[in-house]
Structure 1
Amino acid sequence: MNTALKHFRLTRFQFGRDRVIGDCQVRFDTFHGFALELTDAEGRTGLGFGHSMWEAVAPQAELEARFARAVWPDLDGRTPGALIHRIERPRGGNQRDATVGFGEALQIALWDLAAKQAGLPMADFMGGTRRRAPVYASGLDYHLSDAEFSSFFARAAELGFRAFKIKVGNPDPAWDLHRIELLRDVVGPEAGVMIDANEGWSAKEAAARLSMFHKAGHDFIWVEDPILRNDFEGLRALSAACPWTQINSGEYLDVSNRARLLMTRSTDIINVHGRVTEVMHTGWLAAELGIPVALGNTTLEIGVHAACALPEVPWMEYSFQNYDMLVETPFHIEDGFIHVPDRPGLGLTLSDAARTTWSQPDPLTAEDTPKAPPCNLLANNTAKALATA
């Protein structure tokens, strides 16, 4: 079997989201991203995704030139199975994103192709034994009105989700408490609840707010990023002060600082995202220490493979983002679980619509940016409701 890398392909995207998403720090109404495909000598293709949160992705011609110049020379003719485990230690001025913004997409595509070459679903290739993971409904809901908030989480509950995460961190504590109570009214007293402040509080303020929420009768599965990411002492103190919940942190840290967070026992749960190799490195250390891992948002939920491969993952995030149409068959979600497909690799294939309808080689103005349809789960739920009305 010839496993050598031979070709690459990039497809650029820009489309409107079906709702404004964000937290107490940021808001977004447009998806800016790209797909990376790496093909080996026998025609197998690994698929990865990258995105830009704040600005439009560079024009496709520039992306291709940049990749060909800065990344492809280190990939051409190499075997993906060797590259995914390569450890580099850049020094001095080379301590930067050596893949010039392609890092996440590259890690995903290499793991996908390596698993395909082995003929295994990626979760199995990573050493996993589970084929599904518990998934919670995340609204990215800070900028929704109360009516939109209630409607969103009511639909999520109807779809079988059993745990829900909302955004807090408003300057007014009463606003936060109101949203927590609004969620409880919608999903009921037995549902699991997480809150995410996105570093909106100081350590002292976080302790005061969490005490207020607790006295009002609200317990949480976890409190995510309550204070600054590198305030390890504050995170540790907050965990001790709130034995009735768990602190979830690490989302904004690199691998070395996630290791510090774990080794100093400054978080109860470590939060990881889409860079597969880095996720596995962090997850292995967390497993050694017995600290749970939370899989945060990953493009098209590719994190399900790591969630099923690592032994300390109690939850994975699903936030109803409307980019399902970029692949032929998204991952199946039902009754609060997300499932790993039996197909080799990620189990995802870029759709024809992604290459035609949703491909945008050049940046568009806000007025010209097309709006994508709702995610499949919401669209299918609406169609079902209309059919039974």
Structure 2
Amino acid sequence: MHPCAIKDFTLTRFQFRRDRVIGDAQVKFDTFNALALELSDGAGHTGLGFAHSMWDAMPSLAALTQTFTTHLWPGLDGKQPGALIHRIERPRGGNQRDTTYGFAEALQIALWDLAAQQAGLPLSDYLGGSRRTSPVYASGLDYHMTDAEFSAFFTRAADLGFTAFKIKVGPDAAWNLHRLDLLRQAVGPQAGVMVDANETWSAKEASAQLHLFHRAGHHLVWAEDPILRTDFDGLKALSAACPWTQINAGEYLDAPGRARLLMARATDIINVHGRITEVMHTGWLAAELGIPVALGNTNLEIGVHTACALPEVPWLEYSFQNYDHLVEEPFRIHAGEIHVPDRPGLGLTLSQAARTTWSAPEPLQELQTGPDCQLFQPRA
């Protein structure tokens, strides 16, 4: 077997309580449910990928392993990651479906990580990037915070050097305006501000709310997912009606849906997440059309690599989620910039604590609360 060929895999299951309730006007979550996938080659390299479940705990490790072994491992065993990441397939009929338990995302990330390690390059460089930092904005996932918690959170984020901030908004215009006022008090009038409605509004409601914010002196960088993801006509009309801000959409679409959104010129910014192959395909098309790309939340902020590889990315989202303890050295964030490490691949290694203290092979009834986000910890 060639030393670059994949020879083994390891799955690690996680289930622990978040340090706060996160969510938007539609949903809220207090538990982190996830898995880590490690793919090993014959030369001592290990590619790492993550997948998560928002609503339900992952099944047992034994069930995860059986599913992966049956459905995915035959297509990986003995194959070279550099070939797999560039493979173009066209599934049809019943084969046109996502993999179970989020394996598709974990697999894309782990394969790219492994291929970049074999090339001896940070993943951003391997993807063709020419920079090692990206601007990052502070996101609270804050809809369910009290006003006091909200103000304390964003004050702390501003103290840490963030210069742009995104908040959740909902159907109540007065409540939304109140939160924007609280944010301005916490971070100052010069800060960049984004709002995320998570499809709460209709097109006319969105226009009314955005006009209200603008008249109140809140000049937004963007409004994210203001209306239904498939309402391309509404998104275009909203962009035209609110020329002082940008419309950010695409988060909830799959790769073909994002391509249709871009080709319809129905968004000012396209929102993508963690599936590296799909992000790059979307980013290439966006670059051809001159449309910026926003990197939303990605597990352990692995999106910094695609953010640094694509020419149209102005921002990456950081939401202070308490999972940094799962890796040995999280990505460094300083003065509103996130940094790609010099280490090859992703530059992340699963921590020993993740394999022992935080590993949960079976579904748990009583959960530990994970450590607070490292950026909120006292600095030495």
Aligned pairs for 1:189-338 (under 5 A) are 189-338=189-338
SS at 1:7's partner residue? strand
Letter in 2 for 1:96: R
CA deviation after TM superposition for structure 1 residue 107, in Å? 0.3
**Does structure 2 retain, via aligned residues, the 8 Å contact 1:70–1:100?**
no
How do 1:172-191 and structure 2 match up within 5 A?
172-191=172-191
CA–CA distance in structure 1, aligned partners of residues 69 and 41 of structure 2 = 16
Q: Equivalent residue of 1:271, what SS?
A: strand
Paired position in structure 2 for 1:97: 98
**Structure 1 residue runs of 4 or more that deviate by more than 2 Å after TM superposition:** 98-101
**Residues in 1 aligned to 2:346 and 2:236: alpha-carbon distance in whole angstroms:** 36
Partner residue in 2 for 1:364: 364
1:306-355 Cα distance to aligned partner (Å, 9 max, x none): 00000000000000000000000000000000000000000000000000
Q: CA deviation at 1:43?
A: 2.0
- Which deviates the most, 158-167 or 40-49? 40-49
SS of corresponding position for 2:4: coil
- Please say if residues 19 and 371 of structure 2, whose CA atoms lie closer than 8 Å, have aligned partners that are also in contact: yes
8 Å CA contact retained: 1:71, 1:99:
no
Q: How does 1:66-85 map to 2 (within 5 A)?
A: 66-85=67-86
Residue 17 (structure 1) aligned with residue 18 (structure 2): yes
Report the AA paired with residue 134 of structure 1: P
Instruction: Give distance in 2, aligned partners of 1:295 and 1:93.
Output: 30
Deviation of 1:195 (Å): 0.3
1:2 deviates by 1.9
SS in 2 for 1:102: helix
Instruction: Name the structure 2 match of 1:140.
Output: 141
Structure 1 match to 2:51? 50
CA contact (8 A) 2:272 2:293 kept: yes
1:32-61: CA deviations, max 9, x gaps?
Answer: 001000001112100000000000001000
Contact 2:58-2:101 within 8 A present in 1 as well: no
Aligned to 1:120: 121
Deviation at 1:12, TM superposition (A): 0.1
Give yes or no for the alignment of 1:376 onto 2:374: yes
1:115-140: CA deviations, max 9, x gaps? 00000000000000000000000000
Give 2:87's aligned residue: 86
Residue 99 of structure 1 deviates from its aligned partner by 5.8
Aligned residues: 379
Letter in 2 for 1:17: R
Report deviation, 1:66. 0.4
The CA distance in 2 between the partners of 1:273 and 1:56, in whole Å, is 21
Structure 2 unaligned regions, length at least 5? none
Contact 2:248–2:268 (CA under 8 A) maintained in structure 1: yes
Aligned-partner Cα distance in 2 for 1:100–1:20:
23
Mapped contact 2:128–2:309 kept (Cα < 8 A): yes
Pairwise CA RMSD: 0.9
Equivalent residue of 2:257, what SS? helix
Tell me what 1:8 maps to. 9
**Within 2, Cα distance between the matches of 1:81 and 1:100?**
24
Structure 1 counterpart of 2:346 = 346
8 Å CA contact 1:70, 1:99 repeated in 2: no
Question: How much has 1:98 moved relative to structure 2?
Answer: 4.2
What is the rounded CA distance, in whole Å, between the counterparts of 1:348 and 1:205 in structure 2? 43
Q: Determine helix, strand or coil for the equivalent of 1:370.
A: coil
How far does residue 101 in structure 1 lie from its aligned partner after superposition?
Answer: 3.0
1:163 is matched with which residue? 164
2:295, 2:303 within 8 Å by CA — same for their partners in 1? yes
3-state SS, counterpart of residue 109 of structure 1: helix
CA separation in 1, counterparts of 2:370 and 2:101?
A: 28
Please, what TM-score do these two structures have when normalized by structure 1? 0.96
Cα distance in 1 for residues equivalent to 2:357 and 2:119: 33
Secondary structure, counterpart of 2:10 in structure 1: strand
Please tell me the residue identity of whatever aligns with 1:288.
Answer: E
Query: Is the partner of 2:102 in helix, strand or coil?
Result: coil
State the AA in 2 paired with 1:136: Y
- One-letter amino acid of the counterpart of residue 182, structure 2: L
What fraction of aligned residue pairs are identical, expressed as a percent? 73
**Residue range with higher mean Cα deviation, 88-97 or 219-228:** 88-97
Aligned-partner Cα distance in 1 for 2:192–2:43:
47
Amino acid at match of 1:358: W
Which amino acid is 2:128 matched to? G
SS in 2 for 1:101: helix
Structure 1 runs not aligned, ≥5 long: none
Equivalent residues of 2:123, 2:345 under 8 A apart: yes
The Cα of 1:198 is off from its aligned counterpart by 0.2
Q: Which amino acid aligns with 1:342?
A: D
